Structures are given as structure tokens and as C-alpha cells.
A = this chain, B = another copy of it.
Amino acid sequence: MLKFPDHQVAGHQALRGQLGPQIDESGRFYKPLQQDERGSREAAFYNALLHSNTKVKKQILRFFPAYYGTQNIEASDGSGLHPHLVLQDVVSDYVKPCIIDIKIGSRTWYPQASEDYVAKCLRKDRGTTTVSLGFRISGLQIYQAENSGYWKPDRNQIHKFTVDDVRSVFRKLISSNQSVCNSDYGGIFPQLLELKSWFEDQTDFHFYSCSILLIYDGESENKGGNPHSMIKLIDFAHVFSGNDVIDHNFLGGLCSLIKFISDTPAIHSTKP
């Protein structure tokens, strides 16, 4: 039995009869394969990642959703069978998933892109924090409390985020989640540093318009367990060969994110 994801914060959504991702009970996430080169590039990337197992270490592979190939399933828009990427539903075992989707890089266009595509991306990059910060928030939900539920600003609001707004988001994340301000941002910080080390060295892939998801459990503090937080990279429709050069665009944005987070003071929750 497939259903629409409860915790999708960005990207195409399977609402109002549109084509979008679906999930099942076993923790799989079905992402419609885009019918142009974006779809083939994304599938090719997951295959390259898996089949270059010897090159990409397990330590790094854990930062990507598990990939189970492609499968024809009934599309969410009722248009019949459609090929889908079968991926791990990265939030399936979270009780109250807090998610921040951060599109990394100070540019989202790739060198081979057409003039029009570059111009379109550049306009968006200059209009958001992409150029100034080297990353922008594409979506988010933060669990606040039983009565108030999730804070999940809409797309238009997020597109207008300034650098200060982005800082506020991280502040809100910290103050709504006790586990985050303890132990290295809830364990996220060392993961980001590991990812950074990889990007300082790897010259296989260049990731444009790719996101890092920061995922926490909004209920973990109640259970007193581990922070249970992780990062996952998603959205590989614009991944290209690195041609023996590092992905300096992604790396620069990632370093900026790391510094930005580490400069956001971990104020303890003001909740009673």
C-alpha cells in the first residue's frame, strides 16, 4: 500500500492529482523518475555510487539514501505506470521528524548549461541566500510541541529567507530541541565534518542543486535516548562527472554551512 509522504518539505508533491513521490510501510520512498535527462542522470548517479563501492567508502555511503533500483508503479497523478527510483524513506523511523532541506552551493547551474538555464538559476541564486551564504534553505519543518505541532513555513515564505532568517531557523531548531544544543549539534556536526573531508578529496562527482537534509527527532529528548540525528544528501538530477577537479562549489557552501552553524549560539531552550 502506497501513500503520500507526511514529512516532505521540498520538491514536487503528490497533491491535487500531481505527480510526486510516494512511500510504503516498509520504509521505501518512490520518487518519480523525471522523463528527461534529469531522471537518467539521477538514476545513473545512484548506480555509479553503488557500483563504485570500492571508491566511495561505507562511511560516506551512509550519507546517501539507500537505493533499490527503479520500478514501475502506479503514478500519483493517476496517469498509470511510471518508472520510479526506489529509495530509502529517510524519515520512516522518526517519531517527530524535524527536517531542514539545505540546497548547497553558491551556484545551482552547471557549466554545460544553456544561457537561459544559467540566467534562470542565477536570478534565483541572487534572490535567495545562495550567493551570499553559499546555501539556501529549500524546505523545513520543526516540531515545536504537542499542542502547536510543526512549524512548517510555506514555499513562498522560504524563498524570501534572508541571511538573518536562516540564522533564526537554526536558532529555532536549537531551542525547540534540547538534544541539538548538547553534544555537537546533536551529532550532526561531526557528520558534516566527515562529509567535508570527502569533498576536499573526491573528484568523481559534481553536485549541482543538491540538498543536505538535517534530520532530528523532535521527540528524542523525551525518551532520553540518543539524539538520533543524521544528514542525508538528496536530489541528484544535476550531478556531473568531476573530471579530476573537486566540487569546489559544493565544498565552499558546505564549509560556509559548518561555520554558520557553529557560530549560531546554542542557547538553551527557554521552555519550562
Residue ranges of A at the interface with B (Cβ–Cβ < 8 Å): 106-107, 111, 118, 122, 126, 131-134, 163, 200-201, 203, 243-246, 248-249, 251-253, 255-256, 259-260, 263
Contact = CB atoms under 8 A, between A and B. Distances in A.
- Report which residue of A244, A248, A251, A256 has the largest number of chain B beta carbons within 10 angstroms of its beta carbon: A248
A93 to B, nearest CB: 33
7 contacts: A118-B122, A163-B243, A203-B263, A244-B263, A248-B255, A251-B251, A251-B252
A255 B163 contact: no
B259 A133 contact: no
Number of copies: 2
A122 B111 CA distance: 11
A118 B107 CA distance: 13
Contact of A134 (B118, B200, B243, B248): B248
Contacts of A244: 263
Nearest to A256: B248
Given A252-B252, A255-B248, A256-B248, A132 B106 contact: no
Contacts of A253: 248, 252
Given A200-B259, A201-B259, A259-B201, A248 B252 contact: yes
Contacts of A256: 245-246, 248, 251
A76 to B, nearest CB: 37
Contacts of A203: 259, 263
Contact of A131 (B111, B200, B201, B255): B111
A201 B259 CA distance: 7
A263 B245 CA distance: 10
